[in-house]
Amino acid sequence: MDALLVVIKQYRSFGVLTLIATVFLTPLAIRLANRLGVLDFPDRTLKPHARPIPYLGGAAICVAWALTLAAAIVLHVCEWHRLLPLLVGGVAMSVLGLLDDIRSIAPRVRLLVGAVVIAAVILATGAGRELVDSAVGGLATVAADCGFPLPERLMSVLGLLAGPVSVLAGVFIVLGACNSANLIDGLDGLCSGVTAIISLGFFLLAAHLAVGRWSASGDPVRLVLAIAMFGGALGFLPWNFNPARCFMGDAGSMLLGYNCGMLILLFAERGKFRWVLGALMIFALPVFDTTLAMFRRWRAGRSIFSGDRSHFYDQLVQRGLSVRQTVLICYVLTVLYAAIGLLLTWVDERGPVIRTRHAIFLYAGVVLATVLLAWKAGLTHSERRANKSP
């Protein structure tokens, strides 16, 4: 515990820097948005807020986040060739989101450009290069423990395909995280608060690895990315909590999603798949919300990419909860998922109590329980059927 506290104290200044910068930059972003007319106007369907709300909150978060990462490079806390591509990629994703906020870019163009940016960052940093190796290794361990060892020929073939498949899987994970963060940004304070909790969970997981000296080069990068994201999201929350005075827009949600996705990939280092599973569990609420919304759209016979009020948080509001109550429930659920993900840090004198095989069964059980509870509560019904329900 003492070693963990030492790591936290060593890196907390980066979180404080991002938080203070975001708090002071957001009012400037609000003034600029009002002057330039970069406002989110209400409508009767997807934007129920009472008055036009300034965008550009995401730009404030991006500048503060970039300043913190630049400080980590200048102070030689992280190797520049590992952190600089992540910084450039994050700024590029935020600018892409900002352009979409202002001029509304076609979804296919945004997806293609985002995939190119993410792939370039992955290739430049090697983030997630061991993703498939770690997944196959975890599967092989579980199979062997269950008395069904995988054939050596299969392992050899998977080893040959591991590199290119890891890049493709990495792009898919980060794009998925960007999309999930974007979709959960539907209520005042929801995305900023949820990603603040998620980033704190990532930071504690990264701090645990740093205590164990998992990687001399990888540990600082994970710690700086996580604490910078925590500071940025938390610093923006006072301006975004209900009733919101500023929205982060796609510029903010794309950056936060990108940061989450890249951290998930960075936890795959040294082929220990349980850390990836832990990170995915910490990020579970945005994934659950996105999956639920797409499933309901599919059952209603609509495109799974169409905008609507099928999200988990929308259903809570439709059932009579206030925006604040709904957001606080989402915060509690995020803390719960993060706590489950952090069970991987539980160790004793003999080493990890929860190993990869235990993590797989534990998380599979959590996913199954989430699905059953959602079904039992009627959250999986199509929107048409849900509207007919009393």
Average pLDDT of span 315-333: 93
The amino acid present at 289, given as its one-letter code, is D
What whole-number distance in Å separates Cα of residue 77 and Cα of residue 63?
19
Q: What are the backbone angles phi and psi of residue 216, rounded to the nearest 5°?
A: -65, -30
Residue found under tokens 């970039």: 66
Q: Do residues 180 and 257 touch, judged by C-beta distance below 8 A?
A: yes
pLDDT value at residue 76? 92
The amino acid present at 357, given as its one-letter code, is R
- The domain segmentation of the chain, as residue ranges, is 2-281
pTM: predicted TM-score of the whole model, two decimal places: 0.90
Please determine, for residue 40, whether its predicted confidence score (pLDDT) is greater than 90. Answer: no
Regarding beta strands 351-352 and 347-348, do their DSSP bridges make them parallel or antiparallel, or are they unpaired? antiparallel
The amino acid present at 174, given as its one-letter code, is V
Of 385, 358, 367, nearest to 141 (Cα)? 358
Cβ neighbour number for residue 266 with a 10 Å cutoff: 27
Q: How confident is the model at residue 49 (pLDDT cuts 50, 70, 90)?
A: low
Which run of H or E residues covers position 180? helix 152-183
Please determine, for residue 114, whether its predicted confidence score (pLDDT) is greater than 70. Answer: yes
pLDDT value at residue 159? 66
Residue found under tokens 């985002």: 114
What whole-number distance in Å separates Cα of residue 136 and Cα of residue 51?
51
Residue of 153 and 118 predicted with greater confidence? 118
Radius of gyration (C-alpha) of the chain in whole angstroms: 21
Please determine, for residue 4, whether its predicted confidence score (pLDDT) is greater than 70. Answer: yes
Residues 6 or more apart whose Cβ sits within 8 Å of residue 100: 110, 250
Which run of H or E residues covers position 80? helix 80-103
Please determine, for residue 270, whether its predicted confidence score (pLDDT) is greater than 90. Answer: no
DSSP state of 305: T
Please determine, for residue 158, whether its predicted confidence score (pLDDT) is greater than 80. Answer: no
What whole-number distance in Å separates Cα of residue 241 and Cα of residue 194?
12
Regarding beta strands 347-348 and 53-54, do their DSSP bridges make them parallel or antiparallel, or are they unpaired? unpaired
Instruction: Please give the structure tokens belonging to residue 113.
Output: 């450009």
Please determine, for residue 347, whether its predicted confidence score (pLDDT) is greater than 70. Answer: no
Cβ neighbour number for residue 50 with a 10 Å cutoff: 7
Range of weakest confidence among 70-74, 184-188, 256-260, 285-289: 184-188
Please determine, for residue 388, whether its predicted confidence score (pLDDT) is greater than 60. Answer: no
The number of angstroms, rounded, from the C-alpha of 303 to the middle of its chain's C-alpha atoms is: 24
pLDDT value at residue 348? 42
Please determine, for residue 390, whether its predicted confidence score (pLDDT) is greater than 70. Answer: no
Q: Do residues 64 and 231 touch, judged by C-beta distance below 8 A?
A: yes
pLDDT value at residue 354? 54
Range of weakest confidence among 123-127, 214-218, 364-368: 214-218
Please determine, for residue 63, whether its predicted confidence score (pLDDT) is greater than 80. Answer: yes
Across all residues in the chain, what is the average pLDDT? 86
Percentages (nearest 5) of helix, strand, coil residues in the chain: 75, 0, 25
What whole-number distance in Å separates Cα of residue 138 and Cα of residue 130?
12
Residue found under tokens 């036009």: 52
